[in-house]
Amino acid sequence: MAFNVAFNALYLVLCTAFGAAEFGPAPRITWHLKETNLMHFHVSGISNYSTLLLSEEKDVLYVGAREAIFAVSSLNVAEKLHEAYWKVSDEKNNECAWKGKSKQTECLNYIRVIQPLNDKTLYVCGTNAFQPTCDYLNLTDFRLLGRNEDGKGRCPFDPAQSYISVMVDGELYSGTSFNFLGSEPIIFRHSSQSQLRTEYAVPWLNEPSFVYADVIRAPANNPEGDDDKVYFFFTEVSVEYEFFSKLLIPRVARVCKGDQGGLRTLQKKWTSFLKAKLICHSSENNLIFNVVSDVFILKHSDSSEPKIYGVFTSHLNNVGLSAVCAYNVSTVEEVFAKGKYMHSATVEQSNTKWVRYNGEVPKPRPGACINNEARAMNYTSSLNLPDMTLQFVKDHPLMDDSVSPVGNKPKLVLRDVIYTQIVVDRVKALDGNSYDIMFLSTDKGILHKAVSQDAEMRIIEEIVLFPHLQPVQTLLLSNKEGKRFIYAGSNTGVVQSPLAFCEKFTSCKDCILTRDPYCAWHPVKRSCVNILQDSTADGSLIQKLNGDASQCPDSAEIQKSMKHTVKSRSTVELKCSQKSKLANLVWQFSNKTLKAELPKYHLLEHALVIFNITDHDAGIYECVSQEEVGNIKVSQVLIKHVIELEKVPTTLKSTAHPYTQTEAKSQITTIPAKVLDFSTWKKTTAQILTSPVAFTSVSAKIQESTTPLTEMHSKVPEVQIEKAMYLTKPSDCSLLIFLVLLFGLLFMILLVYNCYKGFLPNWCLRIRTFLFSGKQKAPPDFPDCEQGVKENLVESKLTPSQYDDTQKIPHDTGYETELDYGNGTVPHTGKTDEDQPFDVKCDLKYADSDGD
């Protein structure tokens, strides 16, 4: 009883602390590597698969890695089509190492740019041992032409530095750094006719970290006669805020495609470079996200305007949180086209401060593309823009107005997740609405699939893409009809994942409950299908994104049942698992909901344990999953367990085989239920076992080690818990408590041992002296600790000259402070320190026993 109280108290303390960590929606389902069997590409000896380019017409995915470029099938990335190696020459490698860079890592060729030039050629750039170089890849024979162009401004020198590039109409736009030190940031356009770059000045770019670039085309016949624009997204150090250290700010910048630079002012520089701050705040809980990690621009054929999705983290008050904010492109354009500029004003002697500029703005508007307004003033090219306009934009590249997100708040905020990449797909569901599905990769190799519906954001599922918690560095979405995949690149390889796992849901209710716009129940095939791939059902598909499963035909329910014949007074574990983390499992016995309480029952996450089975416990146990969606509660029986008692009563024997026979009635089900003899347990786990906690952890361990089972309705093989990245269920707490108790016990043992050995100070020595007094005066031999000190003494006597007169010999007090040795001749203590974990205590002890 007392134990129960203590247990409950502990549970409360630990589990509320654990549960409080929840923030934002939890992923409903986790798919592990074993369950998904994703296609994977890796070539041994090659690492850093960081650049991906998809050719949808050819069904080819180009992969840029360290010193290699591959072409793989985009339908199965495991199938390698071609390879080309681009190694650094020994001479370059040595030269780079000589400049102080690492020969084995940094001084190699990291492919950073792969862009299509035309049907038969790719443009490729690599860091090439800190000498960025570009080349052309002939796709006919998959060989580099060996042109070795200077890649400065297109590719970084340092593989660790940020880089982005986008090819627009044969011209390469890039954001990177321009020098060896990486101190000169640049947004650059490379083409055979003209090269344009940013001014090297703090107001233009201030230590940026580039994350994304893409072109947004002007509408075909827009009234302003506007130009196509290339947008850049990056995080940089702000000039406009004062902060005790460098304050990072997320930015969007843009340039016009038709920009030719100025004639005198801004010669060979952008005349259309403007940038603004991206806002991603959650005012409800006062969270500010000031670092943009990645951006995706969703351009859809459904004629709506493109939408910008960004993933953010924070370096401010809320470390460990990630957010997604979305922006209308029109909002961004409005800031650049109509917003106020900032300028640097001198305040108090020499201090400059960036503030809103309220003065006169020259015409045509600085930083605007050549549009009808400029043409009306006879300015047909940036080359003949007036100096006034050019000088103004040179000095005022930063807008005062900032870009607010759609809805003025993040779409999603999540704790303990660091998102690295985002891609977004728009799918038209069967209800006629379009949904934006966000695929977010994390720094732990996981992919989250999130959708917003009725202003509520859900994470439909999380998919483990890579083992060993490695960050996902590139994410790519293919749009080709009927062949839609997500490709992810990391340091160790490339993975291909489908957009949905509809076919994994084997019951209609599960198919509805996933609320995945891609998935619908096919009543004829009696399977869950992807609506983009299965068009055969015309109209009969069932999809209810609100989770209403009432349309599901009863016949779609498949009953699984298992029969167990067990010995009287034994313990039995009835398995039942539900993939969904949002569902509750309830057990029913004889049509009544079971109050699963100790000492009779114990509820595990995926099982019910019944102790000391008697005649009253025989019968039917039904495992019912209940999931609430809005106001609707969907229940379904996952499995029936039938328990029968063995006719012959058995006597309690500690050596008895813990298993009795187990039968599986249905042919699909082949799970052996764990039938355990309670008495055996008692023997094997010593004193701790009297606690139900110990039992929990032990049986949980066994449960984990069960081999995967045949596929069952709602029941998917369990995979090791440590692989689940997003564990929020407080029900895992029993394990935690067990560990706490175990550590408590170990600590006690350690304490008692050390006290016995005499490593601990006074109070325990007194107890020890009290206990051993009369039996023996002192241990015949010095304990290890004293031995060390003794050796010290002897040695110091042998070499007295090492101590000057002011040095106290260790036999005196307080020598444990190393400072007393002053001149650094302390070689003896080093050894004793290593040997004795309790060195300070050891001295105390020494002083104490010396006093005896």
Ligand X SMILES: *[C@@H]1O[C@H](CO)[C@@H](O)[C@H](O)[C@H]1NC(C)=O
Minimum CB–partner distance for residue 372 and ligand X (Å): 13
In this complex, which beta carbon is closest to ligand X, that of residue 47 or of residue 507?
47
Of 604, 611, 512, 504, the closest CA to residue 552 belongs to: 512
In this complex, which beta carbon is closest to ligand X, that of residue 492 or of residue 580?
492
Is 48 near ligand X (CB under 6 A)? Answer: yes
In this complex, which beta carbon is closest to ligand X, that of residue 160 or of residue 840?
160
Please list, in sequence order, all residues whose beta carbon lies within 8 angstroms of the beta carbon of residue 511, skipping any fewer than 6 positions away: 502, 505, 519, 520, 521, 528, 542
Please list, in sequence order, all residues whose beta carbon lies within 8 angstroms of the beta carbon of residue 749, skipping any fewer than 6 positions away: none
Minimum CB–partner distance for residue 140 and ligand X (Å): 4
Please list, in sequence order, all residues whose beta carbon lies within 8 angstroms of the beta carbon of residue 488, skipping any fewer than 6 positions away: 421, 441, 447, 465, 466, 472, 474, 475, 476, 494, 495, 497
Is 160 near ligand X (CB under 6 A)? Answer: yes
What is the rounded distance in angstroms from the CA atom of residue 137 to the CA atom of residue 121?
Answer: 5
Minimum CB–partner distance for residue 409 and ligand X (Å): 11
Peptide bond into 783 cis (omega under 30): no
In this complex, which beta carbon is closest to ligand X, that of residue 372 or of residue 540?
372
In this complex, which beta carbon is closest to ligand X, that of residue 28 or of residue 560?
560
Minimum CB–partner distance for residue 49 and ligand X (Å): 9
Of the candidate residues 14, 406, 418, 558, the single one contacting ligand X (CB under 6 A) = 406
Helix H, strand E, coil C: the string for 91-135 is HHHHHHHHCCCCCCCCCCCEEEEEEEEECCEEEEEECCCCCCEEE
Q: Which residues from 590-629 bind ligand X, rule CB under 6 A?
A: 590-591, 612, 614
What is the rounded distance in angstroms from the CA atom of residue 470 to the CA atom of residue 492?
Answer: 8
In this complex, which beta carbon is closest to ligand X, that of residue 35 or of residue 443?
443
What is the rounded distance in angstroms from the CA atom of residue 109 to the CA atom of residue 175?
Answer: 19
Of the candidate residues 82, 103, 569, 768, the single one contacting ligand X (CB under 6 A) = 569
In this complex, which beta carbon is closest to ligand X, that of residue 147 or of residue 775?
147
In this complex, which beta carbon is closest to ligand X, that of residue 491 or of residue 662?
491
Stretch that binds ligand X, among 136-144, 415-423, 541-549, 638-646 (CB under 6 A): 136-144
Minimum CB–partner distance for residue 82 and ligand X (Å): 12
In this complex, which beta carbon is closest to ligand X, that of residue 29 or of residue 675?
675
Helix, strand and coil content of the chain, in percent to the nearest 5, comes to 20, 30, 45
What is the rounded distance in angstroms from the CA atom of residue 341 to the CA atom of residue 401?
Answer: 7
Minimum CB–partner distance for residue 414 and ligand X (Å): 22
Of 190, 199, 193, the closest CA to residue 165 belongs to: 190
Element (H, E) at 81: strand 80-85
Phi, psi of 596, deg, nearest 5:
-80, 85
DSSP 3-state of 456: strand
In this complex, which beta carbon is closest to ligand X, that of residue 45 or of residue 482?
45
Stretch that binds ligand X, among 38-46, 134-142, 186-194, 278-286 (CB under 6 A): 134-142
Minimum CB–partner distance for residue 591 and ligand X (Å): 4
DSSP per-residue codes, 668-727: S--PPPEEE-HHHHHHHTTGGGGSHHHHHHHHHHHHHHSPPPPPBTTB-----GGG-S--
CA atoms within 13 A on the CB side of 498: 18
Of the candidate residues 4, 16, 138, 479, the single one contacting ligand X (CB under 6 A) = 138
Of the candidate residues 6, 201, 377, 826, the single one contacting ligand X (CB under 6 A) = 377
Residue 312 region by backbone torsions, left for phi larger than 0, else alpha for psi between -120 and 50, else beta: beta
Stretch that binds ligand X, among 135-143, 235-243, 255-263, 311-319 (CB under 6 A): 135-143
Q: What does DSSP assign to residue 441?
A: E
Q: Do 736 and 14 contact (CB within 8 A), yes or no?
A: yes
Stretch that binds ligand X, among 140-148, 278-286, 760-768, 801-809 (CB under 6 A): 140-148
Of the candidate residues 331, 527, 706, 787, the single one contacting ligand X (CB under 6 A) = 331
In this complex, which beta carbon is closest to ligand X, that of residue 51 or of residue 272?
51
Count Cβ neighbours within 10 Å for each residue of 362-376 and write b for 16 or more, e otherwise.
Answer: eebbbbbbbbeebee
Peptide bond into 364 cis (omega under 30): yes
In this complex, which beta carbon is closest to ligand X, that of residue 345 or of residue 376?
376
What is the rounded distance in angstroms from the CA atom of residue 402 to the CA atom of residue 211?
Answer: 19
In this complex, which beta carbon is closest to ligand X, that of residue 358 or of residue 614?
614
Minimum CB–partner distance for residue 363 and ligand X (Å): 11
Minimum CB–partner distance for residue 807 and ligand X (Å): 49
User: How many residues interact with ligand X (rule CB under 6 A)?
Assistant: 22
Q: Which residues from 104-123 bind ligand X, rule CB under 6 A?
A: 110
539's tokens: 């109209």
Helix H, strand E, coil C: the string for 413-433 is EEECCCEEEEEEEEEECCCCC
What is the rounded distance in angstroms from the CA atom of residue 161 to the CA atom of residue 165?
Answer: 13
In this complex, which beta carbon is closest to ligand X, that of residue 461 or of residue 617?
617
Is 303 near ligand X (CB under 6 A)? Answer: no
Q: Which residues from 472-511 bind ligand X, rule CB under 6 A?
A: 491
What would the x/- binding string for ligand X be over residues 419 to 458, using CB under 6 A? Answer: ----------------------------------------
Strand partners for 442: 419
Of 162, 188, 185, the closest CA to residue 173 belongs to: 188
In this complex, which beta carbon is closest to ligand X, that of residue 120 or of residue 246?
120
Q: Which residues from 758-817 bind ligand X, rule CB under 6 A?
A: none
Q: Which residues from 378-397 bind ligand X, rule CB under 6 A?
A: 378
Is 245 near ligand X (CB under 6 A)? Answer: no
Minimum CB–partner distance for residue 592 and ligand X (Å): 8
Q: What does DSSP assign to residue 306?
A: P
Minimum CB–partner distance for residue 553 and ligand X (Å): 19
Q: Do 401 and 339 contact (CB within 8 A), yes or no?
A: yes
Minimum CB–partner distance for residue 826 and ligand X (Å): 38
In this complex, which beta carbon is closest to ligand X, that of residue 328 or of residue 565?
328
Of the candidate residues 118, 140, 350, 651, the single one contacting ligand X (CB under 6 A) = 140
Stretch that binds ligand X, among 138-146, 243-251, 511-519, 523-531 (CB under 6 A): 138-146
What is the rounded distance in angstroms from the CA atom of residue 727 to the CA atom of residue 743?
Answer: 22
Of the candidate residues 179, 328, 453, 580, the single one contacting ligand X (CB under 6 A) = 328
What would the x/- binding string for ligand X be over residues 637 to 666, using CB under 6 A? Answer: ------------------------------
Minimum CB–partner distance for residue 234 and ligand X (Å): 18
Of the candidate residues 126, 132, 159, 364, the single one contacting ligand X (CB under 6 A) = 159
**Beta strands 494-498 and 248-256: pairing type?**
unpaired
DSSP 3-state of 443: coil
DSSP 3-state of 815: coil
Minimum CB–partner distance for residue 42 and ligand X (Å): 11
Of the candidate residues 47, 74, 421, 530, the single one contacting ligand X (CB under 6 A) = 47
What is the rounded distance in angstroms from the CA atom of residue 705 to the CA atom of residue 721?
Answer: 11
Minimum CB–partner distance for residue 470 and ligand X (Å): 8
In this complex, which beta carbon is closest to ligand X, that of residue 491 or of residue 796?
491
Angle at 271 between CA 270 and CA 273, to 5 degrees: 65
Angle at 627 between CA 621 and CA 633, to 5 degrees: 100
In this complex, which beta carbon is closest to ligand X, that of residue 540 or of residue 614?
614
Contacting positions for ligand X (CB under 6 A): 47-48, 110, 138, 140-141, 145, 159-160, 304-305, 328, 331, 377-378, 406, 491, 569, 590-591, 612, 614
